[in-house]
A and B are shown apart, each in its own frame.
Chain A
Amino acid sequence: MLAFIVRRMIQAAIVLLTVALIAFVMFRFVGDPVNQIVGIETTAADRAEMRETLGLNDPVIIQFGRFVGRMARFDFGMSYQFRQPVSELFAERLPATLELAVISMVLAVGVGIPMGVFSALYRDSLSAKLMQVLSLVGISLPTFLIGILLIYVFSVQLGWLPSYGRGETVTIGGWSTGLLTGSGLLALIMPSVTLGLFQMTLIMRLVRAEMMEVLRTDYIKFAHARGLPDRVVHFGHALKNTLVPVITVVGLELGSVIAFAIITETVFQWPGMGLLFLQAVQNADIPIMAGYLMLIGVLFVIINLAVDLLYAAVDPRIKTTASAG
């Protein structure tokens, strides 16, 4: 088990180093960093001096080393457009995105799994068939279109929900949360539904497919034969055995949720990381892009690692092959 963890850690480090290399190349070679920092009236001598102090004349490999060192300390440099450290901007925006992502994922799991179980158990019922059709539509509709449709129905037509922003937020120890105010919660509904819908349909289809497979197996028939109540058989025996693929998908999808948050945040003008990143892309604000890339890279690597470890914990078969290999 230890060897397995160590090997995964080394792989993770390699991936992160590659991501850092891409971020470095972006930072160093897309446009001239000096030109981005100074104004037009700066003299050539000042520029040369700045090159020297920034270390842009050193060998590229040393520059890369320094870059990785700074990244490790969460020092992503100054944003070109805001003239403010990127890490500060991230700290301001991160709570909004994380709240949105976690709530949508909870929603996706909390609704997707029961729906999947239901449509597997009663697969011939009308509502199960309806769910299948709806899930196909849900997978095909682009995220931003769902958001726009929701805004039209619930904000423009019915006037029930706010169409943009986070509502009122409360700051607790540097973390601004919208979960504790009424308007904050109302503002969270549509963005989290929009963001979670794709994952919800995905989880539902996956659970349904896995459940139908498991329900055919002998140990389920045996459990029924033993006279156990349906509830115990379905949730205790069957659902538990569908969880390995579900954990993988949920884990990997958490990453996509953060990426798709860019779209959702744009539709609802949600003041999170995604909106910040999008502005950076539009204005070629490389420090923010590089920092965002690093942050997402770290996040993905951690998620993948956690999924692998959880795997081993849930399914004993994986543990044995891992330690044997």
Chain B
Amino acid sequence: MTPDTPSQNTTKAGFMARLRDHDMTASFLSSKVTVGAAIVTVLLMAGALLAPLLVASDPFDPTTVFIMDSHLPPFWIDGADPRFVLGTDDQGRDLLAAILYGLRVSLSISILGVLFATILGVGLGLVAGYVGGTVDAFIMRVADVQLTFPVILVALLIDGMVHGALKGVGQEDTAFGVLVFSITLSFWVKYARVVRGSTLVERNKDYVHAARLVGLPSFIIMLRHVLPNVLGPVLVILTINFGLAIIAEATLSFLGVGLPPTEPSLGTLIRIGQQFLFSGEWWIVLFPGLTLAALVLAVNLLGDWLRDALNPKLR
């Protein structure tokens, strides 16, 4: 995202020009907090991505985990084992490794969920705004009803329904898919409303009329002509939703409807660790908790910056 990226074709000009005008690079570097947040985000993502290279063994492979190593404290406390920098949990798993692998799971679910939600929401918003009429009314009423309920409740309901429908199938096999599905279905609404709004404006502009006169089919006009011009705010919602999706996934896993202890995300680790709080083993819950908090805070700060940097239309 260098400020002087040349616009490749005319339909992209709106978005690219806005990037250039705001001089994103300069505004990014001028805020120390934003740079810090970006560094934290990149570090955590790299840690998750490179987890198999960073830690000696897969913490969830039962052949490499020994119960003798369980309940070891982090390195600065007496009785620690230098092999386990952040200590171990109740089954002798290396906590640092568990966190990195958990981060991997948490991030993949949130990224996939938000990505699908973006595609679904932008698609429905485009169709609603461009086609109008009954289709528009239907999509927007569904959005209204769903917006009445908090995201976490929607996600819980979807989760419960899917489990009801898939009775008999183990939680292990379905948890990942169910979580992505719940996040997708709970997060599409904001995109749809914003994209519909901008599509309504773009639809009546000359370039769309011209495209229609040339005889291009509707879906080509929507995808190639309207879409690039309504994407600005979508990027902002995407970052905000990413932070929210991380929290949603962690919360669902914490509540016990998300990922099982055999394939834990950060939320599952916190749920497991909570049981050991009373025996004084605070590290089992604290480190996953801190990682989660740092990740969400960093992503939110980046989102804040992005919202200010790209036209504050959304406020």
Q: Which residues of A contact B (CB under 8 A)?
A: 14-15, 18-19, 26, 30-31, 136-137, 139-145, 148-149, 151-152, 156, 163, 255-256, 259-260, 262-263, 266-267, 277-278, 280-282, 284, 286, 289, 293, 296-297, 300-301, 304
A63 to B256, CA, bound (A): 34
Contact B152 A300 (CB under 8 A): no
Within 8 Å CB of B156, what residues of A?
262, 277-278, 281
How far in angstroms is the closest Cβ of chain A from B260? Answer: 12
Within 8 Å CB of B293, what residues of A?
137, 140-142, 145
Looking at chain B's contact residues, is the secondary structure mostly helix, strand, loop, or mixed? helix
Given A137-B297, A260-B152, A263-B152, A289 and B278 touching (CB < 8 A)?
Answer: no
A297 to B154, CA, bound (A): 12
How far in angstroms is the closest Cβ of chain A from B292? Answer: 7
Contact A139 B300 (CB under 8 A): yes
How far in angstroms is the closest Cβ of chain A from B289? Answer: 5
Given A15-B145, A137-B297, 15 more A-B residue pairs with CB atoms under 8 Å apart are: A18-B145, A140-B296, A144-B251, A148-B270, A149-B289, A156-B277, A163-B278, A259-B149, A266-B254, A266-B255, A278-B156, A281-B159, A284-B164, A297-B149, A300-B149
Within 8 Å CB of B247, what residues of A?
142
Across the interface, name the chain B residue whose C-beta is closest to A286.
B164
B286-313 with Cβ < 8 A to chain A: 286, 289, 292-293, 296-297, 300-301
Within 8 Å CB of A260, what residues of B?
150, 152
Taking a contact as CB atoms closer than 8 A, the residue among A14, A140, A142, A256 that contacts B250 in the complex is A142
Interface centre among B153, B163, B251, B274 (most CB of A within 10 A): B153
Across the interface, name the chain B residue whose C-beta is closest to A304.
B148
Contact A148 B149 (CB under 8 A): no
Given A145-B289, A263-B251, A284-B167, A293 and B296 touching (CB < 8 A)?
Answer: no
What 1/0 mask marks residues of chain B from 144 to 170 whose CB sits below 8 Å from any chain A CB?
110011101100110111011101000
A45 to B164, CA, bound (A): 25
Taking a contact as CB atoms closer than 8 A, the residue among A14, A163, A284, A296 that contacts B149 in the complex is A296
How far in angstroms is the closest Cβ of chain A from B109? Answer: 15
Let me know if B257 is at the binding interface, CB within 8 A.
yes
Within 8 Å CB of A140, what residues of B?
243, 293, 296-297, 300
How far in angstroms is the closest Cβ of chain A from B160? Answer: 4
The 9 closest A-B pairs by CB, nearest first: A284-B164, A281-B160, A30-B164, A259-B150, A140-B297, A259-B153, A256-B150, A18-B145, A142-B247
What are 25 A-B contacts defined by CB distance under 8 Å?
A14-B141, A15-B144, A26-B164, A30-B161, A31-B165, A136-B297, A136-B300, A137-B293, A140-B297, A140-B300, A141-B296, A142-B250, A142-B251, A144-B250, A144-B254, A145-B293, A148-B270, A152-B282, A256-B150, A259-B152, A263-B152, A263-B254, A281-B157, A289-B161, A297-B149
What 1/0 mask marks residues of chain B from 236 to 258 whose CB sits below 8 Å from any chain A CB?
00000001000100110011110
Q: Which residues of B contact A (CB under 8 A)?
A: 141, 144-145, 148-150, 152-153, 156-157, 159-161, 163-165, 167, 243, 247, 250-251, 254-257, 270, 274, 277-278, 280, 282, 285-286, 289, 292-293, 296-297, 300-301
Taking a contact as CB atoms closer than 8 A, the residue among B145, B163, B255, B274 that contacts A262 in the complex is B255
Looking at chain A's contact residues, is the secondary structure mostly helix, strand, loop, or mixed? helix
Across the interface, name the chain A residue whose C-beta is closest to B163.
A284
Given A142-B292, A293-B157, A282 and B257 touching (CB < 8 A)?
Answer: yes
Contact A281 B257 (CB under 8 A): yes
Contact B150 A263 (CB under 8 A): no
Contact B255 A278 (CB under 8 A): yes
Contact A26 B148 (CB under 8 A): no
Within 8 Å CB of A281, what residues of B?
156-157, 159-160, 163, 257
Within 8 Å CB of A301, what residues of B?
148
How far in angstroms is the closest Cβ of chain B from A150? Answer: 11
Contact A142 B296 (CB under 8 A): yes
A30 to B160, CA, bound (A): 10
Contact B274 A148 (CB under 8 A): yes
Interface centre among A143, A145, A259 (most CB of B within 10 A): A145
A74 to B296, CA, bound (A): 40
Within 8 Å CB of A14, what residues of B?
141
How far in angstroms is the closest Cβ of chain A from B90? Answer: 16
Across the interface, name the chain A residue whose C-beta is closest to B278.
A156
Within 8 Å CB of B157, what residues of A?
26, 281, 289, 293
How far in angstroms is the closest Cβ of chain B from A292? Answer: 9
Interface centre among A139, A142, A255 (most CB of B within 10 A): A142
How far in angstroms is the closest Cβ of chain A from B248? Answer: 9
How far in angstroms is the closest Cβ of chain B from A198? Answer: 11
A286 to B292, CA, bound (A): 32
Contact A148 B159 (CB under 8 A): no
Across the interface, name the chain A residue whose C-beta is closest to B243.
A140
Taking a contact as CB atoms closer than 8 A, the residue among B145, B257, B280 that contacts A156 in the complex is B280
Within 8 Å CB of A18, what residues of B?
141, 145
Interface centre among B152, B156, B165, B297 (most CB of A within 10 A): B156
